[in-house]
Amino acid sequence: MTVSAVILLAACNDTDSPKKQATAPPSTSSPTPTTAQTVVAPAPATSAPPAPTASGAPSPSATSGTQPAQQAASTEAAIQRYEQYLHAVGREDLATVCEIAGPAAKKAQDDGFGPCTTTMPITFRMFSAAQKKALQTATVDPSRVSTRRPDKVEVPAKAVRTTVTFSQSDLGDQTLQYIDHAWYIVD
């Protein structure tokens, strides 16, 4: 049953496309895009509004127009995004959970699971009231997080710090990837 919860946690988004569309303008606003210009040049003009309006999340690339791509795609930013996801699970905030886990949810849906809006409420019921409350203030121990490459981070279940103990099968290990100017759970 707890393994199903992990799978269902991954199966929580059928709204991946709108997020990608909402963040597409920053990369297309530069008249002569190069890797450096795509990230830095459009940031002052257009990067701040798209990410927060699509997710309500303080996307590192959107909060500071002058922030280099290395900082936006940092392990610390991935941890903050995963903490936001955990807090949303604790609050049963379906929209936020489904947005952050969009790519993983799409994979799960392609494998026969329903859309996030259908499967995630089932997963919410698998957590006790005490676990949900603990997730609302959960943090992640950065020393237990592995950076696979600059745009991919592994967050093991043992890195999650809460007032209630969660097992590996309760939360599972999560992979986050930096896609379209934000971090998403991909596996």
Report yes or no: 14 and 109 within 8 Å, Cβ to Cβ: yes
Q: Hey, where are the domains in the chain?
A: 2-24+69-185
Write out pLDDT tens, residues 42-59.
Answer: 333 333 333 333 333 333
Q: What is the pTM of this model?
A: 0.64
* CB-neighbour burial class of residue 112 (10 A; exposed 0-12, middle 13-18, buried 19+): exposed
Q: Is the pLDDT of residue 39 over 80?
A: no
